[in-house]
Amino acid sequence: MIRHIASFLGRRLLGRAVASSVQGASGGALDFKLGLRLLRDGRVPFKSKIAGLGLGLGAVFILEILELPLQTALMLLLPFVGIAADLALDGVELLAGPIIVASLVLPYLAPRDIVEQIRAEGQPQGQVYEANANIK
């Protein structure tokens, strides 16, 4: 039961955090979708990807250090629930945090020409596809 509640809250909080940073982000200052395309693309240098993920991991560790007093208090007040919630949230932060941060900073770490090329490839070309084109 706690696992379902934690996963539901994690999806809601993570989805809202990403959506708020991505709103109108087609070419904006923090383009999350472009960052994900850059992470998956083979033309982006491996060093840039590792640097982005390293920055993300560093941000997660700093966040963990700042959360330590609150997590300790929660574990003391609610021993079993506090430990379970702490482990669930730490796991979500450790997995999703570096990817989110890397996606946000990778457009600034990767070479500009590659970023512009991938950004142009992701833009729609104005082509219209008919839904029933193959039906006779």
Residue extents of the structural domains in the chain: 21-121
Q: What is the pLDDT of residue 23?
A: 47
Give the pLDDT band (50/70/90) at residue 102. Answer: very high
Give the pLDDT band (50/70/90) at residue 2. Answer: low
What proportion of the chain, given as a percentage, has pLDDT over 70? 70
CA pair distance 104, 78, nearest whole angstrom:
35
Q: What is the pLDDT of residue 122?
A: 77
Tokens found for residue 89: 């949230």
Could you write out the DSSP letters of every residue in 1-12? -HHHHHHHHHHH
Supply the mean pLDDT for the chain: 79
Give the pLDDT band (50/70/90) at residue 57. Answer: very high
Number of H helices, E strands in the chain: 5, 0
Q: What is the mean pLDDT of residues 28-32?
A: 78
